[in-house]
Chains A and B, each alone.
Chain A
C-alpha cells in the first residue's frame, strides 16, 4: 500500500488553484470534472512530480466549516510542506502577498513557519535541521 494522495479542504477550488499553483508553485497533475461544480483537482511539487499528490478538496460538508474554523482559531495548521531554506521561502511568499501567522521559529527538529492559504486553512512549512 502506498500513500499517493493527501488532501486539504478548500473553500473554493478555483481560488485554491490560484494559491497553490501560482503562489506556492505546485503543478496540476489531475483536473477532472466530477459534476455539480466539483473537480478532482490534484497537484504535485515540481521538485517531485511523481510524488504524493495534493488534492484540493471542496469543503462543502457541513462539518468542514466548524472544523476548519476551530483549527484556525487555535492557530493549528491543516497540513505541512517541506522546504530547503525556510528564510528564503518565507521571503519569496511574502513578496507574493502571502500572510504569515507564525514567523520562522525553532520547533525542535525543524524550523517552521505558518501562513494563511486564503481558502480557510493555515499551512505549515518546515525546514529539517541538520
Chain B
C-alpha cells in the first residue's frame, strides 16, 4: 500500500478521458511521435506520418485525435509565433496510472 500517499485527487471524469484517449492505436501513435519530437504542428505530425511505413494520418483524423488528447490533458498547446504546436503533458498520465493502475500493479507484489 506504499503507493497510496502519491495518489492525487484526479476526478473520475478525467480518469475516463485519459483511459479513453489511450484506448486508440492512432492516438498512441501520436503520443509516440510527440515523445520523439515535442512541439509539432498539425502539418508536421501528418507530414511525418508519411515516412513511418504505416497508414498516413489525415489532417481531419489528427485534428480530432489531438482534441481528445487535449481534453484528457495529455497534450498541451504552445504557440510558436502564429503556429500552434503540440507537446506531451505526462503528469496526468502518471497521476492516472498511480490512481487506478497502480493499485493492481502493486497488488500481491509486496506479499
Contact = CB atoms under 8 A, between A and B. Distances in A.
Given A101-B41, A102-B44, A114-B43, A73 B84 contact: yes
Interface in B28-75: 40-44, 47-48, 50-51, 59
A101 B84 CA distance: 11
Interface string A59-94: 000000000010011111100000000000000000
Given A101-B83, A116-B81, A74 B48 contact: no
Interface string A106-130: 1111001010100000100000000
Range for the number of chain B residues in contact with chain A = 10 to 19
B70 to A, nearest CB: 14
A116 B80 CA distance: 12
Contacts of A72: 82-83
Interface residues of A, number: 18
Nearest to B45: A75
Contact of A73 (B40, B48, B59, B82): B82
Given A73-B82, A74-B59, A74-B84, A107 B43 contact: no
Given A101-B41, A102-B44, A114-B43, A75 B51 contact: no
A55 to B, nearest CB: 23
B81 A75 contact: no
Interface of A: 69, 72-77, 101-102, 105-109, 112, 114, 116, 122
Interface of B: 40-44, 47-48, 50-51, 59, 80-85
